[in-house]
Amino acid sequence: MSMDKIVEVNMGDFNCTVEPGVTHETLNQHLHTTGLWFPGDLGADASICGMAATNASGSNSARYGTMAQNVLNLEVVLSNGNVMYTAGKDRRPRKSAAGYNLTKLFVGSKGTLGVITQTAVRLYARPAVCSVAVCPFRTVDKAIEAVVATLQCSVPIAKIEFLDAATVAACNRYSKLTLVESPTLFLEFHGNSEAEVAEQASLVEEIFASNDGREFNWCHAPEEQKKIWSSLHSVYYAILSEKNNVKGFTIHFSLPTSALAKAVSETRKDIDESGIFGALVGHVGDGSFHCIFLVDDSNQDEMKMIRELSDRIVKRTLASGGSCTDEHGIGISKRKYLENEYGEVAVNTMIAIKKALDPKGIMNPNELFTKN
Amino acid sequence: MSMDKIVEVNMGDFNCTVEPGVTHETLNQHLHTTGLWFPGDLGADASICGMAATNASGSNSARYGTMAQNVLNLEVVLSNGNVMYTAGKDRRPRKSAAGYNLTKLFVGSKGTLGVITQTAVRLYARPAVCSVAVCPFRTVDKAIEAVVATLQCSVPIAKIEFLDAATVAACNRYSKLTLVESPTLFLEFHGNSEAEVAEQASLVEEIFASNDGREFNWCHAPEEQKKIWSSLHSVYYAILSEKNNVKGFTIHFSLPTSALAKAVSETRKDIDESGIFGALVGHVGDGSFHCIFLVDDSNQDEMKMIRELSDRIVKRTLASGGSCTDEHGIGISKRKYLENEYGEVAVNTMIAIKKALDPKGIMNPNELFTKN
Check residue B1 and give its pLDDT: 58
Cα B69 to chain centroid, rounded: 13
Name the percent of chain B lying above pLDDT 90: 62
Interface test with A, best of B349, B358, B367 (most A CBs within 10 A): B349
Please name which of A38, A56, A33, A36 lies closest in space to residue A46, comparing C-alpha atoms: A56
CA neighbours closer than 13 Å in the CB half-sphere of residue A155: 29
Check residue B333 and give its pLDDT: 74
Residues of A in contact with B66 (CB under 8 A): 95, 97
Cβ of B323 within 8 Å of Cβ of A93? The answer is yes
Among A324-333, B27-36, B114-123, B239-248, where is mean pLDDT lowest? A324-333
Quickly state the pLDDT bin for B196 (edges 50, 70, 90): confident
H or E segment to which residue A370 belongs: none
In angstroms, what separates the C-alpha of A323 from chain B's closest C-alpha? 6
For the CA atoms of B147, B152, B154, B159, the dihedral, rounded to the nearest 10 degrees, stands at 20
pLDDT at B328 over 70: no
Residues of B in contact with A347 (CB under 8 A): 99
Distance CA A233, CA B280 (A): 50
Cβ of A98 within 8 Å of Cβ of B338? The answer is yes
Interface test with B, best of A90, A94, A315 (most B CBs within 10 A): A94
CA distances from A101 to A43, B209, B344 (A): 29, 39, 15
- Decide: A234 and A291 in contact? Cβ < 8 Å: no
- Decide: B162 and B183 in contact? Cβ < 8 Å: yes
Answer whether B79 touches A (CB < 8 Å). Answer: no
Cβ of A327 within 8 Å of Cβ of B95? The answer is yes
SS3 B29: helix
Distance CA B317, CA B304 (A): 20
CA B198, B43, B28: angle at the middle one, nearest 5? 70
Answer whether B343 touches A (CB < 8 Å). Answer: yes
Check residue A84 and give its pLDDT: 98
DSSP of B43-70: SS--BHHHHHHTT--BTTHHHH--HHHH
Quickly state the pLDDT bin for A330 (edges 50, 70, 90): low
Question: Nearest by CB to A88, which of B329, B346, B354?
Answer: B346
Question: Nearest by CB to A105, which of B85, B93, B104?
Answer: B104
Distance CA B206, CA B146 (A): 10
- Average pLDDT of chain A is 91
Residues of A in contact with B328 (CB under 8 A): 97
Query: Mean pLDDT over residues B127-156, rounded?
Result: 90
**Alpha-carbon torsion A152, A310, A326, A156, what sign?**
positive
Residues of A in contact with B323 (CB under 8 A): 88, 91, 93, 95-98
Cβ of B107 within 8 Å of Cβ of A94? The answer is no
Answer whether A360 touches B (CB < 8 Å). Answer: no
Check residue A26 and give its pLDDT: 96
DSSP B294: E
Domains of chain A: 4-123 (3.30.465.10), 130-318 (3.40.462.10)
Quickly state the pLDDT bin for B239 (edges 50, 70, 90): very high
CA distances from A285 to A62, A155, A187, A197, B108 (A): 5, 10, 9, 17, 29
Tens-place pLDDT, residues B169-192: 999 999 999 999 999 999 999 988
Tens-place pLDDT, residues A58-103: 788 888 988 989 999 999 999 999 999 999 998 877 777 788 999 9
Question: Nearest by CB to B152, which of A12, A154, A329?
Answer: A12
Tens-place pLDDT, residues A276-311: 999 999 888 888 888 999 999 899 999 999 999 989
End-to-end CA distance of chain A: 35
Interface test with B, best of A14, A349, A358, A369 (most B CBs within 10 A): A349
Cβ of A99 within 8 Å of Cβ of B345? The answer is no
- Average pLDDT of chain B is 91
Please name which of B119, B179, B129 lies closest in space to residue B158, comparing C-alpha atoms: B129
Distance CA B203, CA B188 (A): 14
Name the percent of chain B lying above pLDDT 70: 98
pLDDT at B253 over 80: yes
Check residue B258 and give its pLDDT: 86
Answer whether A34 touches B (CB < 8 Å). Answer: no
Check residue B228 and give its pLDDT: 94
pTM for the complete prediction? 0.93
Neighbouring CB atoms inside 10 A of B360's CB total: 9
Question: Nearest by CB to B93, which of A192, A322, A334?
Answer: A322
Tens-place pLDDT, residues B95-131: 777 889 999 999 999 999 999 999 999 999 889 899 9
Quickly state the pLDDT bin for B327 (edges 50, 70, 90): low
Distance CA A56, CA A67 (A): 6
Residues of A in contact with B102 (CB under 8 A): 342, 346, 349-350
Tens-place pLDDT, residues B200-235: 899 999 999 999 999 889 998 899 999 999 999 999
Tens-place pLDDT, residues A192-232: 888 889 988 999 999 999 999 998 899 988 999 999 999 99
Check residue A328 and give its pLDDT: 66
Cα B23 to chain centroid, rounded: 16
**Higher per-residue pLDDT: B325 or A179:** A179
Query: Mean pLDDT over residues A267-271, rounded?
Result: 90
Cβ of B350 within 8 Å of Cβ of A99? The answer is yes
φ and ψ of A325, to 5 deg: -155, 135
pLDDT at A327 over 70: no
Check residue B329 and give its pLDDT: 66
Distance CA B69, CA A215 (A): 37
Tens-place pLDDT, residues B12-68: 889 999 999 999 999 999 999 998 999 988 878 999 999 999 998 878 888 898 898
Query: Mean pLDDT over residues B343-372, rounded?
Result: 93
Check residue B148 and give its pLDDT: 86
pLDDT at A332 over 80: no
Quickly state the pLDDT bin for A358 (edges 50, 70, 90): very high
Cβ of B98 within 8 Å of Cβ of A341? The answer is yes
